Chains A and B, each alone.
Chain A
Amino acid sequence: MDLAQQARQIRKKILQMHHRANSSHVGSALSCLDLLVALYFDILKIDPQHPAAPERDRFILSKGHAASALYATLAAKGFFSPAILDGYCQDNGQLPGHVTRGYVSGVEASTGSLGHGLAMGVGMALAARFDKLDYKTFVLLSDGECDEGSTWEAALLAAHKKLSNLVAIIDYNKIQSFGRTQDVINLEPFKDKWASFGWSVKEINGHNFDEIRSTFKTILFAPDKPSVVIAHTVKGKGVSFMEDKLEWHYKAPNREQLEAALKELDAVL
């Protein structure tokens, strides 16, 4: 299965999970899904059979509200049975609505409150250097999360420590909780901000697998600097009526909407 096909299958699973649970953030999950698929199926040095191997790459989904995307990707990768996905946000289920470590294999850190992930990634990257292990730590953040001061605290320290083994990825879909990023708190010039903080920056289309793969394969971007990939994405990507719509930060697809969405995805498959 190629990455695009894999992503379409996982998108269908995500839509079913949100429908079943009547849970929010389906748009956020679809936005970062292609990045997750590229990472888990092509980039990360991980083995679902050895999820605690000391030399494994670390991945933190700092935008923990997109949990369904991570869970569905981990299940597709073989970290746990896809049947467990049915318990997402269900009574006595195994998967809470925000990414939480300890329920299933493969989840490295608990997130859900924004602005926590990058600092934890810095700690892991420092540990890798101390332990003389050559794994990388990847942290995927939302754009809204870059409103958090703690994100920039961690960005400063990562550059100061020259953590070239740390990679931040921004899911820049340009919609946050209450509106467009340019209207709430404008992040632009975003690339310049990261560069001025001492990071090596690349911008990509976060839905183009060739671009995603070729970019991640060139990491390290620069010696002695942490890397950041600003991935331009579309909230709700893959389902026409969800794309670039704030309301899909909150709404869950009803039966008709689910069927329409699945039909769209099947038409492409």
Chain B
Amino acid sequence: MREAFIQTLLTLAQERRDIFLVTGDMGFSVLEPFRDRIPERFINAGVAEQNMIGVAAGLALTGKQVFVYSIIPFACMRCFEQIRNDLCMPKLNVKIVGIGTGYHYGPAGTTHHAIEDVALMRALPGMKVIDPSTPQEAQEALKAVADEAGPVYIRLGKYQGDSVFNHANKFVIGQANILEEGEDLAVISSGSVVYNVHKALQILRGQGLRGRLIHMPTIKPIDEEMIRQTAKKTEVIFTVEENNIIGALGSAVAEVLAEGRCNVHFRRLGIGDVYEKAIGSQTFLQGKHGLTPETLAKRIQEELASIIL
């Protein structure tokens, strides 16, 4: 997804002279095409994330459209207050691109896992939160984001499947997509883990359970209408995300369901408020948290059984 990001940003920047890219010394083997082609609009702020956001704010205050790039914990946690004060309060045109959703950097250790960023960014007034699933969708999302006023957070993971994104749909910020129809249950998901949900639903389909798969690439503002419609069509809704289940996609969906007085069974599936101590690949760690296709299918079945009981 990183390559898709930089190709698209480079194309956009060649068309628009106001686009700048600021990095906190990240992007080796990714950002070079931009650096080499448009060096005057590429700024490496150093291993200094607070500085990175402050410099981006200063550029935006002079009318530039600024993209900021780093690994998620550094892009949006180390410099959280700069994002809040310097970007969100004045509603500046700065787009934060965070790399490595969930357990993307699995073996690198807990410091590099990104399971709280959606909750953090979602809590900032005026900040939009985008969680694309595939490289193609990341490209489309990036184009949409470049035209969007104000701060946006876009997080990019590692997509390992074939495309489940409906390319007929133009990416519209705030709009969810129905990837698969089904009546027995619905799953709302976002990010690269959507592929695992797709495979899990295939397993369940083999057992006679038809699931509706909603891809919610914009977590904020969330597609409330899609959630309410889904609640009318099924009795059970799951959210699946590779995040701490507190404060992220599941919470956002729960807010809509609760306030809409939707009469459904609802379960948030994700990471259960823990820092993962086990060492291993993204797939290995996903498996520990019921987020691989097989473990997810099993978890959904267990939850359905408990609901029916």
Residues of A within 8 A of B (CB): 54, 100-102, 108-113, 115-116, 118-128, 130-131, 137, 149-150, 153-154, 156-157, 160
Instruction: State which size class the interface on B falls in.
Output: 20 to 34
- Complex formed: what's the CA distance from A110 to B82 in Å? 11
Check if B291 is an interface residue, CB within 8 A of chain A.
no
Chain A interface main SS type: helix
- Measured CB to CB, the nearest residue on chain A to B49 is A153
Interface pair A157/B40, CB less than 8 Å apart = no
| Cβ distance B86 to chain A, nearest Cβ, rounded Å | 6
- Complex formed: what's the CA distance from A128 to B56 in Å? 14
Chain A residue numbers with a CB within 8 Å of B161 are none
| Cβ distance A29 to chain B, nearest Cβ, rounded Å | 20
Interface pair A127/B57, CB less than 8 Å apart = no
Q: How many A-B residue pairs have CB under 8 A?
A: 97
Interface pair B81/A153, CB less than 8 Å apart = no
| Cβ distance A269 to chain B, nearest Cβ, rounded Å | 38
One of B60-68, B183-191, B230-238 contacting the partner = B60-68
Interface pair A123/B60, CB less than 8 Å apart = yes
Interface pair B85/A126, CB less than 8 Å apart = no
Interface pair A127/B58, CB less than 8 Å apart = yes
Interface pair A126/B59, CB less than 8 Å apart = yes
- Complex formed: what's the CA distance from A126 to B43 in Å? 9
Interface pair B45/A109, CB less than 8 Å apart = no
Q: Known contacts A120-B61, A153-B48, A156-B46; is A110 also within 8 Å of B55 by CB? A: no
- Complex formed: what's the CA distance from A95 to B55 in Å? 26
Q: Known contacts A124-B58, A127-B59, A157-B45; is A119 also within 8 Å of B85 by CB? A: no
Contacts A113-B85, A119-B58, A157-B46 supplied; 9 other A-B pairs, CB < 8 Å: A116-B82, A123-B60, A130-B41, A150-B48, A150-B51, A153-B50, A154-B48, A156-B46, A160-B46
Interface pair A116/B54, CB less than 8 Å apart = yes
Interface pair A120/B86, CB less than 8 Å apart = yes
Chain B residue numbers with a CB within 8 Å of A111 are 85
- Measured CB to CB, the nearest residue on chain B to A123 is B58
Chain B residue numbers with a CB within 8 Å of A156 are 46, 48, 51
Chain A residue numbers with a CB within 8 Å of B89 are 100, 110
- Complex formed: what's the CA distance from A40 to B99 in Å? 43
Check if B53 is an interface residue, CB within 8 A of chain A.
yes
- Measured CB to CB, the nearest residue on chain A to B50 is A150
- Measured CB to CB, the nearest residue on chain B to A139 is B58
**Would you list the 4 A-B pairs with minimal beta carbon distance, nearest first?**
A123-B58, A119-B54, A153-B48, A153-B51
Q: List 19 A-B contacts (CB under 8 A).
A: A102-B90, A109-B57, A109-B58, A109-B86, A119-B58, A119-B82, A119-B86, A120-B61, A123-B54, A123-B59, A123-B61, A123-B62, A124-B58, A126-B58, A127-B64, A131-B62, A149-B50, A150-B51, A153-B45
Chain B residue numbers with a CB within 8 Å of A128 are 62
Contact of B86 among A102, A108, A110, A124 (CB under 8 A): A110
| Cβ distance A112 to chain B, nearest Cβ, rounded Å | 7
- Complex formed: what's the CA distance from A112 to B56 in Å? 18
Interface pair B61/A109, CB less than 8 Å apart = yes
Interface pair B51/A130, CB less than 8 Å apart = no
Chain B residue numbers with a CB within 8 Å of A108 are 61
Chain A residue numbers with a CB within 8 Å of B45 are 153, 157
| Cβ distance B152 to chain A, nearest Cβ, rounded Å | 18
- Complex formed: what's the CA distance from A149 to B41 in Å? 25
- Complex formed: what's the CA distance from A66 to B240 in Å? 48
Interface pair A113/B55, CB less than 8 Å apart = no
- Measured CB to CB, the nearest residue on chain B to A112 is B85
| Cβ distance A203 to chain B, nearest Cβ, rounded Å | 25
| Cβ distance B238 to chain A, nearest Cβ, rounded Å | 40
- Complex formed: what's the CA distance from A200 to B125 in Å? 40
Contact of A116 among B48, B62, B86 (CB under 8 A): B86
Chain A residue numbers with a CB within 8 Å of B46 are 153, 156-157, 160
- Complex formed: what's the CA distance from A250 to B175 in Å? 49
Interface pair B51/A154, CB less than 8 Å apart = yes
| Cβ distance A121 to chain B, nearest Cβ, rounded Å | 6
- Measured CB to CB, the nearest residue on chain B to A120 is B58
Interface pair A157/B51, CB less than 8 Å apart = yes
| Cβ distance B239 to chain A, nearest Cβ, rounded Å | 34
Chain A residue numbers with a CB within 8 Å of B61 are 108-109, 120, 123-124
Chain A residue numbers with a CB within 8 Å of B58 are 109, 119-127, 137
Chain B residue numbers with a CB within 8 Å of A160 are 46
Chain B residue numbers with a CB within 8 Å of A157 are 45-46, 48, 51, 55
- Measured CB to CB, the nearest residue on chain B to A119 is B54
Scoring A102, A122, A123, A137 by chain B CB atoms within 10 A of each residue's CB, the highest score goes to: A123
Interface pair B85/A120, CB less than 8 Å apart = no
